[in-house]
Amino acid sequence: AERIAWKGEGVLAFCKVLPDICRCSAINRGALRDGGAVTAMVGLLRAAVTAGDEAGTVAACIGITALCTANDGNKKDAAALRGEFNEDELVATDADYRTPLFKAPDQAGALDILLEALATFQESVPVQTHGCGALRTLLCDDDPRQASCVPSAVENRERAVNEDHFPAYRMAVERALHLPASGKALLRLQENGMLLLRELATRQDRIHTLVYQCKLLPMMEAALKDGDERVVRASLAVIRAFAFSDEMKEQLAVESKVAIQCVLAVRRHAKIAPIVEQGFGLFANLTMRKPHIATRLNGTEFRVFAVGQMVLEHHKEKPSVVKSVLQTMRNVATQDDAAALEVKESDLLDEMLTLVRAHGQDGRWRSPVEIAKQFLREFRADDGIRKAAEWNEFY
């Protein structure tokens, strides 16, 4: 077959339709990789950045995002952190054959070129938007298939937050979030910048840098009041990542009103599943073994427990939402007397019994079912689902 020339107006048009092609089937992403599309998109990006071609850079970013979403193999090819297996050096150095040696890649991979693109087109809203989106895609471990080794996305993320590379990523996020824009362009820029920030907030020292030195928390709090659902979800995802630091839990829920604003945002968007899933994931993390935070969030003014009941009414068939909500309600009810009384007086215990009986054998519901069982045990309400003792015939 003739070799494809990945250049020209046709390729730019192809990049724009790639998201639709890749969304149709995961098989398409693998087939396109086999056809050289991933390497071609990285090459297109490299050439566009070198030539100062803004349109080509945007198109390549769109293509990389489409190809690498939920496909770890494509992320690996695009990042190109390792070169070919270096058998000659392995023999020449008498090295341990169990430790693979790789030649350094001849050219920079997508991670470094994307950072260069963001630094080159600092005032371009489209480049900043799609560049941050492509970077975030390469760092996000979103492939649902179980890997037999460390996913490439995790390797990419570890590289991004190490001492050598973190300053460049930090600068890219700050630049994107402070770039002046308006209308829909601003919303998409904010969303992609926040989602990239969420991938970088993976270690306590990095979280502290992003919160205390970059001072990005007030921006996340302000975004909670935005009417755009995708921006609200992204800001909740960032705050949830920040809350993995114990010090930040106190900052979010006690020393500031950020957690309260999160409760209000979830209440306003209670019918939007991605928002309430992120919100209650955050609340579950904040209230775990933190009685004072559980009591504060369930105060008479904000009532996170009541918000949880309202959310369950809207999303009782979505296991990911039910899991986060039940975990939060359990944390609150076991640490706050008012919430515990409310559990006993409401129909929640009966609803959890129904959930366990209806979905106990469904693998998709495994986590919410286990949380519900634990919840019921703690309130001595697990009659009918508790397994009877099994006696060995020998005794």
d(CA 79, CA 385): 49
Residue 12 CB contacts under 8 Å (≥ 6 apart), including other chains: 55, 56, 59
197-214: average pLDDT: 96
Query: What pLDDT score was predicted for residue 92?
Result: 53
Query: What pLDDT score was predicted for residue 353?
Result: 95
Fold (topology level) of 1-202: Leucine-rich Repeat Variant (1.25.10)
Q: Are the C-beta atoms of residues 256 and 250 closer than 8 Å to each other?
A: no
Query: What pLDDT score was predicted for residue 91?
Result: 47
Question: Left if phi > 0, otherwise alpha if psi is -120 to 50, otherwise beta: which for 87?
Answer: alpha
Query: What pLDDT score was predicted for residue 56?
Result: 96
Q: Which amino acid is at 188?
A: R
Q: Quick one: tokens of 29?
A: 């992403």
- Has residue 288 got a pLDDT over 60? yes
Percent of the chain with pLDDT strictly greater than 70: 91
**b/e per residue 186-216 (b: at least 16 CB within 10 A):** bbbbbbbbbbbbbbbbbeeebbbbbbeebeb
252-272: average pLDDT: 96
d(CA 156, CA 141): 10
Each residue of 123-143: pLDDT tens digit? 999 999 999 999 999 999 999
**b/e per residue 322-347 (b: at least 16 CB within 10 A):** bbbbbbbbbbbbbbbeebbebbeeee
pLDDT band of residue 386 (cuts 50, 70, 90) is: confident
Mean per-residue pLDDT over the chain, rounded: 91
- DSSP 8-class letter at 105: P
- Has residue 47 got a pLDDT over 50? yes
Each residue of 49-61: pLDDT tens digit? 999 999 999 999 9
d(CA 352, CA 240): 26
Query: What pLDDT score was predicted for residue 107?
Result: 84
Each residue of 331-384: pLDDT tens digit? 999 999 999 999 999 999 999 999 999 999 999 999 999 999 999 999 999 887
Q: Are the C-beta atoms of residues 130 and 138 closer than 8 Å to each other?
A: no
Q: Are the C-beta atoms of residues 364 and 322 closer than 8 Å to each other?
A: no
Query: What pLDDT score was predicted for residue 195?
Result: 98
Query: What pLDDT score was predicted for residue 101?
Result: 46
Q: Are the C-beta atoms of residues 38 and 78 closer than 8 Å to each other?
A: yes
CB count within 10 Å of CB 356 equals: 20
- Has residue 149 got a pLDDT over 90? no
Query: What pLDDT score was predicted for residue 4?
Result: 66
Q: Where are the domains of the chain?
A: 1-202
- Has residue 159 got a pLDDT over 80? yes
Query: What pLDDT score was predicted for residue 146?
Result: 74
- Has residue 387 got a pLDDT over 90? no
Each residue of 62-117: pLDDT tens digit? 999 999 999 999 999 999 987 544 444 444 555 554 545 444 566 899 999 999 99
Query: What pLDDT score was predicted for residue 3?
Result: 62
- Has residue 203 got a pLDDT over 60? yes
Helices 183-200 & 229-242, crossing angle to 10 degrees?
20
Helices 183-200 & 152-160, crossing angle to 10 degrees?
90
d(CA 211, CA 262): 17
Q: Are the C-beta atoms of residues 202 and 241 closer than 8 Å to each other?
A: yes
Query: What pLDDT score was predicted for residue 86?
Result: 44
